[in-house]
Amino acid sequence: MIMDMFILFCMLITFIYIYFQLKWRLLSFLRKKSSKALYGGSMSGMFAIILNYYAVVAHGEVFFSLSMVVLVLSFVFTGRGAYAIGSLIFMIWIGFSPLAIPTISLPDLLRLFSALFLLDFLLQNRQRYFKLFLFTLVLNLEYLSSLLWTGPAFDRTLISSFYYLCLSFLSITVGASVINYMIRSENLLQKYEMEASTDGLTGVYNRRIFDEQMNRLSGTRNAAMILIDIDHFKSFNDNYGHAEGDRILKAVTHELSSLVSEGLMARIGGEEFAVILNDYTMAQAAQLAEIFRSAIEDSTFTTLDGTVIKVTISLGVAVYPDQVDSVEELYPKADEHLYKAKAMGRNQVCCDLL
């Protein structure tokens, strides 16, 4: 029986690993809270069924498994919605499947479901490990009471309950530690991905993401690029200092990015930004560029010492296939137009329409 308990324990840890591996691959589909609850509930319900199928035989017709343990872990770490979905799936299995092992009766499962929900409501502000301890204690008390009510002789009941007590608390403790480790790993992964893809000062995408997006444009029917440069930015840095220059960069970026409802905005140089737009015509791209220009011209910016300053930008626009033969030529053409906008006196939008 000890070997069967060890196998069950290893299955639980393996399921936790599988859960997070799949979750990391489905992050784009799990943005909403409801999606996370559905994923967590479905996975925990499926794992509970598998753990029930491989339940340990204590003796005779007495079994125990880690099905409720995986549901408790889902409850504490994923939330009430996931627990409700997982418990419903497991109830259907216990109540209607001929393959279900009688580790717990349907009435006992319903009672546990209600008890844990009530306990969670009463312990809303408590730490996770405290909740896990009390939830696991409730599981063991329920298992002991069910054996005393319908089970074998008293000595066998105590032995079975002792084994389940040891296995459940060990599984909860190690399982929670593994989950915490996986959550920290997930957070670090997301942090590193964000740092690798965004500009540290302005928060928009960096040059690496800009280059990747340009590579993805191959095969598109229409694409446009707007290059943006802050006018006389070097002089501003010389007059007010680089700290104030950074503040202006962030303020201008915030203003511009709020106007980009679709497409990708990236910082590709010191004070130079690029906006990549899919399925944009020449007229649409030129109109958006003019919106950028007028928005910055109409804005006022204040330095730390209270000086109110005006900032302007120059913009170059290029469109594929109207102006260039390939998307790879968008950047050189937009850069050429940006240079012309500066030559015309700055605070200009330059493209073939103008």
Q: pLDDT by residue (tens digit) across 75-133?
A: 999 888 999 999 999 999 988 899 988 888 888 888 888 888 888 888 887 888 888 89
pLDDT computed for residue 39 by the predictor: 93
pLDDT band at 286 (very low <50, low <70, confident <90, very high): very high
User: Known catalytic residue: 271?
Assistant: yes
Which of these is catalytic: 271, 290, 328, 329?
A: 271
DSSP annotation of 130 reads H
pLDDT band at 154; cut points 50, 70, 90: low
In this predicted structure, the answer to whether residue 159 has a pLDDT above a threshold of 50 is: yes
Give the DSSP H/E element, type plus range, for residue 227.
Answer: strand 223-230
Main-chain phi, psi angles of 52, to 5 degrees: -65, -40
pLDDT recorded at residue 155 = 65
When pLDDT is cut at 50, 70 and 90, the band that residue 354 belongs to is very low
Is pLDDT of 273 > 90? yes
**Cβ(199)–Cβ(205) under 8 Å?**
yes
Question: Where in the chain is CATH 1.10.1760?
Answer: 2-197
Looking at the chain, list the stretches that DSSP marks H as alpha helix, in order from N- to C-terminal side. Answer: 2-25, 33-53, 67-78, 80-96, 106-122, 128-150, 154-197, 207-216, 233-240, 242-257, 282-298, 330-343
pTM beyond cutoff 0.75: no
> Phi and psi for 319 in degrees, rounded to 5?
-135, 135
Instruction: Give the range with max mean pLDDT: 17-21, 300-304, 313-317.
Output: 313-317
Using alpha carbons only, give the angle 127, 104, 166 rounded to the nearest 5 degrees: 50
Task: Look at 187-196, 306-315, 324-333 and tell me which has the smallest mean pLDDT.
Answer: 187-196
**Sheet of 272-278, strand order:** 264-267, 272-278, 223-230, 313-320, 349-350
Is the pLDDT at 353 greater than 60? The verdict is: no
Topology, domain 207-350: Alpha-Beta Plaits (3.30.70)
Name the average pLDDT for the chain: 88
Closest CA to 225 of 212, 240, 204, 210: 210
Residue labelled with tokens 């002789």 = 153
Q: How confident is the model over 177-197, as a mean pLDDT?
A: 85
Q: Band of the pLDDT at 151, cuts 50, 70, 90?
A: low
- In the chain, which residues fall in CATH 3.30.70.270? 207-350
- More reliable by pLDDT, 62 or 85: 85
The pLDDT of 132-149, averaged and rounded, is 83
At 171 the pLDDT is 92
pLDDT at 71: 92
Structure tokens at 26: 């489905």
Query: Which of 106 and 195 is assigned the larger pLDDT?
Result: 106
Q: How far is CA 255 from CA 39, 224, 287, 292, 335, in A?
A: 37, 20, 17, 9, 22
DSSP-derived 3-state class of residue 219? coil
- Please state which architecture CATH assigns to domain 2-197: Orthogonal Bundle (1.10)
Lowest mean pLDDT among 55-64, 163-172, 176-185, 193-202: 55-64
- Tell me, what's the pLDDT at 111? 87
Q: What average pLDDT does this structure show over 305-332?
A: 91
Q: Which of 155-169, 303-317, 335-349 is predicted least confidently?
A: 155-169
Residue 248's CB: how many other CB atoms inside 10 A? 20
pLDDT of residue 135 exceeding 70: yes
Q: Which two tokens stand for residue 143?
A: 């298992």
Mean pLDDT lowest among 24-38, 119-133, 142-156, 160-174: 142-156
Which of the residue ranges 138-152, 181-195, 319-333 would you say has the lowest mean pLDDT? 138-152
For residues 319-323, give the mean pLDDT.
90
Share of the chain above pLDDT 70, in %: 97
Counting residues of the chain whose pLDDT is more than 90, the rounded percentage is 43
